[in-house]
Structure 1
Amino acid sequence: MEKPEKGLLGRGGKGMEVNLMADVSDCLDKYRVFGIEELVNATDGFSESCLIQGSVYKGCIDGEVYAIKKMKWNACEELKILQKVNHGSLVKLEGFCIDPEDGNCYLIYEYVDNGSLHSWLHGNKNEKLNWKTRLRIAIDIANGLQYIHEHTRPRVVHKDIKSSNILLDVNMRAKIANFGLAKSGCNAITMHIVGTQGYIAPEYLADGVVSTKMDVFSFGVVLLELISGKEAIDEEGKVLWAKTNGILEGREERKTKKLKEWMDEVLVEDSCSMDSILNVMTLAIACVHKEPTKRPSMVDIVYTLCKSDEMFYDISEDGIPPSPLIAR
């Protein structure tokens, strides 16, 4: 669901640029203000050949590669949130640009080399992520969410956690991207429901309740994707989180059997720790509980994930860590 146009954008004119610059004046000393000519040259006139996805382009300026996001709405709120956050598990904002001709706003981010988690899990890649890498990705995301939930004032709710908004760097470490729907402050009610089907928390969809627990729910769906290799919503419109009933019921042997049937076949072939996957599956199901108060906090989630004996790579005898990928 696309965020509606609002504020000053879309009407054109120099006055609008002045007003918008005034709105983001607090950001001027923290971020580089790019010129529109720099962005046009970097992206070959916003050519499709430079398009990464959606309205995000890859461009090189002064020898540095950036991800350039063309906004369809006023970026003031996003900028105000981004200037408050600084964490290694969040994609870093490097600067912004306001086109004096039409008032369009552009956000310029660090370029994250290995693309989205969604493309690694669901794309037609010849290599798949092993369990240790998936668990490390889960911990990175959890750390980023714990930071915005617990260490910003007021708290920030991302509101759009999904595998396509998780980017992987050259070392296959995860960074949370796209704060376009983020809200500063929580426990609010909104009538304007935005988000992506399959990840939206039931209380937000039904009543518009905005809280950190909606991020916890969405994170739980990402955990289910990491374990199963399945999409958050299938071709028939059925959501992944609703398919977990009964998997962890009964004796240990039954749980293991059911989980093996449900999880990504690549992980079964990898002979990874079933105890580790069982622990994360238990956590994922807790995260997608329909009752928000019964979901764990991000503090609890980080603690639970970090207890796993699969958190770190095993170091081989020659001191070289194994590949984070499984060749298919």
Structure 2
Amino acid sequence: MVVNLMANVLDCLDKYIIFGIEELIEATDGFNGNCLIQGSVYKGFVDGEVYAIKKMKWNAYEELKILQKVNHGNLVKLEGFCIDPEEANCYLVYEYVENGPLYLWLHESNTEKLSWKTRLRIAVDVANGLQYIHEHARPRVVHKDFKTSNILLDSNMRAKIANFGIAKSGCNAITMHIVGTQGYIAPEYLADGVVSTKMDVFSFGVVLLELISGKESIDEVGNLLWASGIRIFEGKEAEVKAKRLKEWMDEAIFEGTCSMESLMNVMSVAIACLHRDPSKRPSMVDIVYALCKSDDMGFDISDDGLGTPLVIAR
């Protein structure tokens, strides 16, 4: 069985660096806890280069099939792999992304707060990454676990999508095995197991709400961020919605400069992504276009700067 799995993986990864297990043990000081980044991912040094090393069992094959078909600046790059048949482990070796998960930057109290322009740029970066896997990968790829802990920031605070461990090639499938992270899961997937690119769009909407509010996708008593975000934007009067938004949004955004119009536009994109009917959610092409039009003009937030929300054509 191991021989067959090795043949499959090697066939999948003929263009990558093949690392030896001893090399990775040395790189991580024996997979020492001091080298642990998160989950089963370790920081390691090989020949002066720093890598993120993900330790996996043999279920790595599906992830490998997807990774070898995608190549985009806003996706974390796979550099190589290692097979350890004795322990039945596979190690995926990725580029190391210096500033870690977006989740920590938004939700850890001891981190520097992100400006609105940085948040908006992060949103555009990951929207471009999702657009690539939805529109340009063949077959199309659904990430299925898009969330702030799977968005990594490099030394320039540019964003890359990570962790394709439960990603799915192909669209519009039905599964009985529901996986993902509570607070990000699209209703149609949770209810009926429908797998499509629109479930990633829903999760992207939740991430936008996190960027705007600084709040987690689900609070300590189980309240969903997307449900409260929809309530904030109920009604038709832009001025009322803008006042609610100012009370709800991350106070750290007030410390910099941004326009209320930009915030309202991005909030409108988020709400469109969260439509209960997946066919009425925008595509990532629409979203990238809308976010780029929402680029901040640098005005201070004030009651005089209430803008009207951008409407995404469906």
TM-score > 0.5 by shorter chain? yes
1:99 is aligned with what amino acid?
Answer: D
2:204 matched to which residue of 1? 219
Q: Which moved more, 1:95-104 or 1:24-33?
A: 24-33
2:289 matched to which residue of 1? 303
* Structure 2 gap segments, 5+ residues each: 299-314
1:236 matched to which residue of 2? 221
Aligned-pair CA distance for 1:251: 2.6
Q: 2:178 aligns with which of 193, 212, 217?
A: 193
1:84 matched to which residue of 2? 69
Q: TM-score, normalised by structure 1?
A: 0.88
1:91 is aligned with what amino acid?
Answer: V
Aligned-pair CA distance for 1:270: 2.4
Q: 1:151 aligns with which of 113, 131, 136?
A: 136
1:278 matched to which residue of 2? 264
Identity among equivalent pairs (%)? 77
1:115 is aligned with what amino acid?
Answer: G
- SS for the counterpart of 1:304 is helix
8 A Cα contact 1:159 1:182, kept in partner: yes
Superposition pairs of residues 160-175 of structure 1, within 5 angstroms = 160-175=145-160
1:139 aligns with 2:115: no
Which protein, 1 or 2, shows the higher relative CO under an 8 Å CA cutoff with sep ≥ 6? 1
Aligned-pair CA distance for 1:125: 2.6
- SS for the counterpart of 2:44 is strand
1:306 is aligned with what amino acid?
Answer: C
Please give the alpha-carbon distance, in whole angstroms, between the structure 2 residues aligned to 1:253 and 1:220: 22
1:267 matched to which residue of 2? 253
1:68 matched to which residue of 2? 53
Aligned-pair CA distance for 1:103: 1.6
Q: 1:258 aligns with which of 221, 244, 247?
A: 244
8 A Cα contact 2:58 2:88, kept in partner: no
Aligned-CA RMSD value: 1.3
Q: TM-score, normalised by structure 2?
A: 0.92
CA deviations 1:160-216 (Å, max 9, x no partner) are: 000000000000000000000000001000000000000000000010000000000
- SS for the counterpart of 1:241 is helix
1:282 is aligned with what amino acid?
Answer: S
Please give the alpha-carbon distance, in whole angstroms, between the structure 2 residues aligned to 1:19 and 1:264: 52
8 A Cα contact 2:57 2:88, kept in partner: no
Q: Which runs of 4+ in 1 moved over 4 A?
A: none
Aligned-pair CA distance for 1:21: 1.6
Across the two proteins, how many residue pairs are aligned to each other? 297
Q: 1:179 aligns with which of 158, 164, 182?
A: 164
